[in-house]
Amino acid sequence: MPELWLRYGSSEVVLDIRAENILRHAKVVQEPIRDDVLNSRFEALESMFEGSGSVGNTVDIIVLDGSRVIIDLASRLIAYLEGKGKSIDNVYATTRCRVAGREARPFKGRAGKRSILISRALLDPLFKYRCTATALLRFEQDIMRDAYSIFTSRDGNPSGYTNIRDMVDGYVQGTDCISLEAIYGEQGLIDLLVCDTARSYHEISSRLEALVYATDLCRSIIASTGYSSRLSDAITALWNCSTILKRDGVIVVLAECIDGFGAKALQMLIEGRLVYNSANPLDEYGYIDGLEYLYILKVMGERGYDIGLLTVLPEFYARALGVKPFRRIRDVLAYILGKMGQRHKVMLVSDALIMQMKALE
């Protein structure tokens, strides 16, 4: 019986599963970057910032992702810049947090020329990829309505992002800021890209497209979100893996969710303040942050998927989403094998937030 490790937020779980029950184990085979490589990326960012025409030694830091790994990365960058004689004028963030010992100010969506923006690069249901450009775009209500309409008009088809890419390009054209894009795999920080904010979407597209994993359709999946602790990321993992799941399939995502919902629409749904059953929720509610996640749950339910979530969230929350809650990995395996048969083979996906799953034709 092989011993496999799957990341479960900030910790790991041991998945004891017989070799004959493993279909495949899809993961990014890439070691974490070393400290010297990380420092070289910080040096490149510093050189790029100084060459951008900015005057003086004061810098604004803008944290566009509230995950703890990105907050820690921002703190390391601040320590590096201060060690180089830079003064950190302001620290902003999209969520309430403390960065390098100081309370971050709320970010309202506008960045000055003397700003360094830090984002976590991920797959994204609405934009295909998440980066600095799409994080800024989410502050524009009218654009988000259009993006949501484009997404739902594809009838749940994960392909066809041409219009979305054009929308992103049109919004960030002329943006004069510097971005730091962090890519976390199951093993930790595997890459850190330094680029112009206007180029961030294309840089991340190119990088993550190199991680595409093509495979045959399967009947069951256990997927890990890696270094993630938000419910919204668990649903992104579900959406990504659904591309290789048969209509009668079972999929269970490992996601602690100790950092909460990650999207306002998910919180409103669970609290009973939003009912996602109208023909066009945009007409009833307008665009609410994370409305696409409710659409995903609706589509996956209509496809007949059996969805589970291994999480520390209260069972009431999971059931409000229409998914089965699990507390232990052994219960997940027992459920899948009990439903599919003891000789059934399970697909394992370790990096479901950065490795796009693609079905072979």
CB 257 within 8 A of CB 313: yes
Q: Where are the domains of the chain?
A: 3-28+212-359, 35-208
Question: pLDDT digits over 270-323, tens only?
Answer: 998 888 776 678 888 889 999 999 999 999 999 999 999 999 888 999 889 999
Candidate CATH numbers 3.30.420.140, 3.90.550.10, 3.60.21.10, 3.90.226.30; the one for domain 3-28+212-359: 3.90.226.30
Is residue 142 within 8 A of residue 170, CB to CB? The reply is: no
Using the predicted structure, report yes or no on whether residue 9 has a pLDDT greater than 80.
no
Got the DSSP string for 2-35?
Answer: -EEEEEETTEEEEEE--GGGEEEEE----PPPPH
Q: What is the pLDDT of residue 50?
A: 76
Query: What band does 358 get if pLDDT is binned at 50, 70 and 90?
Result: very high
CATH architecture of 35-208: 3-Layer(aba) Sandwich (3.40)
pTM assigned to the model: 0.93
For 287, list phi and psi in degrees, rounded to 5.
Answer: -80, 125
pLDDT > 90: percent of the chain: 65
| Tens-digit pLDDT profile for residues 154-204 | 755 555 678 888 889 888 887 778 999 999 998 899 999 999 999 999 999
More confident residue, 123 or 283: 123
pLDDT at 48 over 90: no
Q: Using pLDDT thresholds of 50, 70 and 90, give the confidence band for residue 55.
A: low
CA-based torsion, 64, 68, 69, 75: positive or negative? positive
* Res 90 pLDDT > 60: yes
Q: Are strands 324-326 and 306-310 parallel, antiparallel or unpaired?
A: parallel
pLDDT tens by residue, 192-239: 999 999 999 999 999 999 999 999 999 999 999 988 879 999 999 999
